[in-house]
């Protein structure tokens, strides 16, 4: 059970006592244990140094902490791996902490010691300390004598960003990674390709970025038939990708790239029309939605193309998993394509229950791609439509159409990541229908309390199936999210609710407590210059709060 000592009261609120403003470890996500100790607080202005024990990862951690203190309090704190005079902050790995991402913070008058089961655990302990410290204090900052112990519920804690519909530059992607790190999120799902644009350089197929990365027009609004006739797009060079991957790894975040297939491939077909069933003509898609033209499963050139892309992608991204999509792939073209029908006959593919032969053809396609990934030492993740085409249990399923797909997949032995739209699609509105100044979005309503209410591994599931639910994430699709500040606004503060679900045990959830702690985290967002939705925190729900990026239309 979660244990928070109620004495002394200075742990409950940042109080001004004898000129001191106390840190408060009631943060997001809430640590499992926080127990007050006898003794005086640690006075932050007296800090002499940050000392680390260990390798380059621990040295980097120490420099991160030093940079945060400089940013927050203009403190210049030296970093060293040598013995120093107290008071000091000490960072070290403790083999007795059995959870790799677990940590312990011990505070006395002379030292703040942050220990972890690994360098990643130390990093999360540092983030907890960072969030506990007051923002813009009016007085000397002190940290109460306390022991904090914590570890996460789920090993997979994800957040997604779509850069295909609207492109986001490397500076924002790095800022987004910083946002994930602040929230203890360890996996960045990078949606790099879709009908509306291909965003990663593949040297073997240069037309993917010469042609596929650019659309010549973009629909205005919700598929109105009116277009902005302006060339739009962009892509990341391989050097930029390597830089982003290093940046994330330094913050203990794994990037899982997604190349969605066999559907959502019109940008590819515009570049290489011979990979489609009809041969075109195709264009990089200017509209939003699901389209009939997908990769031809009857052509061997298609599989050579996919394998060539994956060869370079796996060189760029060292992640255990590669996301291969599999969602929203209409079979219309396959039903009429002689080559696809010949593949069905050659592979002895037939209908199976409610699954048509073309459904089973997608199963053949995805299994073939997965086997190729396996041969390179990687694993496949796909959307829950893969359950409709009989893929192998070794495929990890991302359940987005609801909870049911995840439940079904877990019972079949698939590992599952829960991403149901009704709780975790952050491109949906977070304000109600009658709110005055909503931006144009895809629709839906996912307020922060709805996010917080979700339970990814319900008690109704058999224990064996529950073990297959390895984590959860939220998705930010960007058909209507066109600017950096807009993306910030859509994910914050809902990312706070997400990270608490990913981290704490279900019996310790309390929405009122969370909202109190989230208000404090909002102060840090503001100090960092990040936009966030204030609606849930307003006293008068009809108060007009106009974010700067809503003051003019994209068009």
* Encoded tokens for 536: 């849930």
Pairing of strands 156-162, 469-474: parallel
Q: Which of 166, 264, 323, 468 is catalytic?
A: 264
Q: Which of 240, 328, 390, 485 is catalytic?
A: 328
* Encoded tokens for 415: 């590992």
Q: How many CA atoms lie within 13 A of 244 on its CB side?
A: 26
Burial label for 517, CB within 10 Å (0-12, 13-18, 19+), is: buried
Residue 328 bears catalytic tag: yes
Burial label for 246, CB within 10 Å (0-12, 13-18, 19+), is: exposed
Count CB-CB contacts under 10 A for residue 9. 10
Helix or strand (DSSP H, E) at 362: helix 357-375
379 phi/psi in degrees, rounded to 5? -115, 155
Residue 194 bears catalytic tag: yes
Helix or strand (DSSP H, E) at 474: strand 469-474
* Encoded tokens for 301: 């050139």
- How far apart (Å, rounded) are the C-alpha atoms in residues 9 and 2? 17
Task: Return the C-alpha torsion angle 439, 456, 124, 531, nearest 10.
Answer: 10
Q: Which of 194, 260, 484, 500 is catalytic?
A: 194
Q: Which residues pair with 49 in a beta bridge?
A: 88
- How far apart (Å, rounded) are the C-alpha atoms in residues 365 and 447? 38
* Encoded tokens for 56: 């380059």
Q: SS in 3 state form for 104-142?
A: EEEECCCEEEEEECCHHHHHHHHHHHHHHCCCCCCCEEE
3-state secondary structure of 24: coil
Residue 57 bears catalytic tag: no
Residue 382 falls in which region: left (phi positive, over 0), alpha (psi -120 to 50) or beta: beta
Enumerate the active-site residues.
194, 264, 328
């Amino acid at each position: 059970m979660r244990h928070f000592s109620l004495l002394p009261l200075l742990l409950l609120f940042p109080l001004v006592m004898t000129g001191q403003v106390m840190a408060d470890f009631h943060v997001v996500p809430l640590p499992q244990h926080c127990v007050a100790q006898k003794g005086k607080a640690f006075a932050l202005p007296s800090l002499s140094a940050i000392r680390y024990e260990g390798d380059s990862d621990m040295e980097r951690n120490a420099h991160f902490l030093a940079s945060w203190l400089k940013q927050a309090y203009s403190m210049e704190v030296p970093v060293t791996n040598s013995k120093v005079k107290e008071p000091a902050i000490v960072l070290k790995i403790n083999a007795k902490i059995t959870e790799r991402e677990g940590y312990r913070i011990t505070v006395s008058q002379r030292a703040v010691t942050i220990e972890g089961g690994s360098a990643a655990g130390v990093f999360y302990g540092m983030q907890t300390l960072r969030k506990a410290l007051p923002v813009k204090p009016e007085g000397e900052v002190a940290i109460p004598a306390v022991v904090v112990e914590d570890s996460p519920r789920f090993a997979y804690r994800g957040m997604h960003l779509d850069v295909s519909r609207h492109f986001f530059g490397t500076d924002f992607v790095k800022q987004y990674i910083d946002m994930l790190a602040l929230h203890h999120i360890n996996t960045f799902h990078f949606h790099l390709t879709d009908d509306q644009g291909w965003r990663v350089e593949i040297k073997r197929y240069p037309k993917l970025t010469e042609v596929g990365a650019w659309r010549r027009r973009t629909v205005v609004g919700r598929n109105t038939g009116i277009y902005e006739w302006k060339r739009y797009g962009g892509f990341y060079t391989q050097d930029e990708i390597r830089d982003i991957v290093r940046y994330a790894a330094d913050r203990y975040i794994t990037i899982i790239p997604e190349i969605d297939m066999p559907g959502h491939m019109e940008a590819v077909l515009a570049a290489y029309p011979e990979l489609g069933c009809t041969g075109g003509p195709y264009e990089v898609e200017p509209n939003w939605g699901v389209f009939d033209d997908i990769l031809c499963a009857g052509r061997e050139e298609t599989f050579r193309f996919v394998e060539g892309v994956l060869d370079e992608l796996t060189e760029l991204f060292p992640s255990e998993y590669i996301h291969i999509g599999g969602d929203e792939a209409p079979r219309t073209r396959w039903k009429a394509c002689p080559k696809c029908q010949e593949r069905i006959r050659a592979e002895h593919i037939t209908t199976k229950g409610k699954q048509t032969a073309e459904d089973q053809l997608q199963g053949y396609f995805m299994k073939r791609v997965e086997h190729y990934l396996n041969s390179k030492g990687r694993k496949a993740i796909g959307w829950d439509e893969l359950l409709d085409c009989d893929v192998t249990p070794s495929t990890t399923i991302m359940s987005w159409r609801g909870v049911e797909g995840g439940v079904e997949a877990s019972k079949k032995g698939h590992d599952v990541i829960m991403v149901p739209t009704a709780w975790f699609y952050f491109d949906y509105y977070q304000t109600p229908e009658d709110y005055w100044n909503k931006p144009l979005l895809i629709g839906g309503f996912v307020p922060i309390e709805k996010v917080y209410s979700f339970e990814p591994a319900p008690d109704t599931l058999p224990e064996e199936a529950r073990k297959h639910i390895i984590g959860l994430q939220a998705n930010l699709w960007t058909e209507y999210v066109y600017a950096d500040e807009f993306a910030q606004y859509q994910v914050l503060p809902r990312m706070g609710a997400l990270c608490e679900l990913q981290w704490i045990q279900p019996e310790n959830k309390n929405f009122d407590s969370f909202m109190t702690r989230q208000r404090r985290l909002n102060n840090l967002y503001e100090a960092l210059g990040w936009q966030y939705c204030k609606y849930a925190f307003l006293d008068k729900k009809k108060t007009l709060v106009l974010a700067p990026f809503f003051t003019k239309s994209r068009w």
